[in-house]
Structure 1
Amino acid sequence: MAILVIAEHDNASLKAATLNTVSAAAKLGADLATEVHVLVAGANCGAAAEQAAKVAGVAKVRVADAAHYDSQTAENVAALVVGMVANEAAGYTHILAPSTANGKNVAPRVAALLDVAQISDIVAVESADTFVRPIYAGNALATVKSADAVKVMTVRTTAFEAAAMLAPEGGSATVEAVAANADLGLTTVKGRDLTKSARPELGAAKIIVSGGRGLGNSENYHKLLEPLADALGAALGASRAAVDAGYVPNDYQVGQTGKIVAPQLYIAVGISGAIQHLAGMKDSKVIVAINKDPEAPIFQVADYGLVGDLFEVVPQLARTLA
């Protein structure tokens, strides 16, 4: 019996979300006294597999290296996982994926093919069959118990510390090849429109500067927030209203329908604090809100609030920190 984590990676290295998911799996592994395995499915993904072998708590890395896994389309990866569950002599009792766009694309397909329920966005492990997940945009927590033979779940990565990376010469996990399934040919990736930035990745950043509709337009967003983010070494985020208004691309969005983040410091500029946005950032260690409306809901969750004109306050703050 073992636990399987579906790794998120770019064929060269693991994504940070995988490390948090391994921590959740390790908690399960300790309760069950069983091993944690990591599946790396990709093309020419040996480097990512070697990195996975150095993650604390991982006993085995299963590698499926084939050209049709290059884009890691959900249909092909899900079929691979289901085949592994069916063919494993020992069997997998739990299958975990990060609660990212990728993980939320693969896990439901795995659950459907196995004819089991999926448990979404777990934030705590109570026991081998009992888990905690947020509901009502994070305003309540539900304790869910599953009787399924195989538990399929996504993990809210901000709820678990990242598993440690062992020293280059460390790592006791074995790396083992897995036979690739045939290409289902159901989807094809035609291209990727990637946002390239020297700033930290939003989902893994320790400091985030986020802007809302109060900034007025895209030009103001970049002119006001970029100097502040650069001074702090922060990632840039945005509310859904700012994204919908075209200030920044979709991958900047923080909130219930965007990215769930929990940085050490979250600075909300011109964000009123709709419940959908709060659901994505209220677990931040320190929240600073800058808004001209003293009644803005964001101040109810903020550790520090500044009521003022952001067009005056933000440049002053950036100059002070520079």
Structure 2
Amino acid sequence: MSDITAETRGGAAAPLTLAGSQDLSEVRDWIALLKPRVVSLVVFTGVVGMLVAPGALPPALAVAAVLCIGLGAGAAGAINMWYDHDIDARMRRTAQRPIPAGRIEPGAALGFGLALATLSVAVMGLATNWVAAGVLALSIGFYVLVYTMWLKRRTPQNIVIGGAAGAFPPVIGWAAVTGDIALPPLVLFAIIFLWTPPHFWSLSLWAHADYARVGVPMLPVTHGARETRRQVLVYTLLLVPLTLLPWALGFAGPAYLAAALLLGAGFLWHAWAVWRDRQDAAGRSLTGDRPARRAFRFSLLYLALLFAALAADRLLLA
């Protein structure tokens, strides 16, 4: 087998060994444990919480706070993957994750997650304040203990109650700046809290076979597709008016209001399409759950753009 080569500074070719490629692959696996796509949205909503807060942190401390939010979320994801590796191995959507695929040992993943969780909380407390650190610890504990270990395998309301874990970052960001908790970050918490069920149930509509296979009582498994579609619409109808509160309470301006109305209309259209999707007598979709897939993808864009509009509006008002 011929060596793959790379240019050195002197112009000579240096071998890029297979070991180097394996090292990169191992690094990617450790990063995958942190659920980076989830972490990116968590970090962004935390940053918006910091921007909405009165006052500001020195740049170095602001960067430290953002890193702690990301590390804390990643730590929770790693511990979640450790706990769920048995069912992940039997689900098509998750079978290639690092632990079920055999690329990382479960015990090593648990130690990694616990170490990052401890580090993130300690650094947050030392760099900002212990209120922010306490909320960060609460968010990690809620995701791991309440959602992952207690609710996920026991009740179809797992994602409703457990969704609170993902709603903490704006509160953490606010607390990092102010050292307290007030109404504005709680409104942002409520927005993410109500956004989570239609977002995740849209996913579970087209992944319900995986959940049924491993006995996880997601709503489509326990109550059927039609009830899940109804709940997607109901929660979206509750969510959209709530997103107007930042403007009504005065911590966002007309630019945010316009974005919230436009994005809300889009989300309602997708939720209505999910509800109207044709089904057979057993409650299964006849269109391959295409509306649910589109609603899931739009929900990610929706939350990101909604919080981006709030950040932009806040910067304009500053």
Q: Give the TM-score range, shorter chain.
A: 0.3 to 0.5
Determine which structure has the larger strand proportion and give its number: 1
**TM-score, with structure 2 as normaliser:** 0.33
Determine which structure has the larger helix proportion and give its number: 2
Q: Which has the higher contact order (CA 8 A, sep 6+)?
A: 2
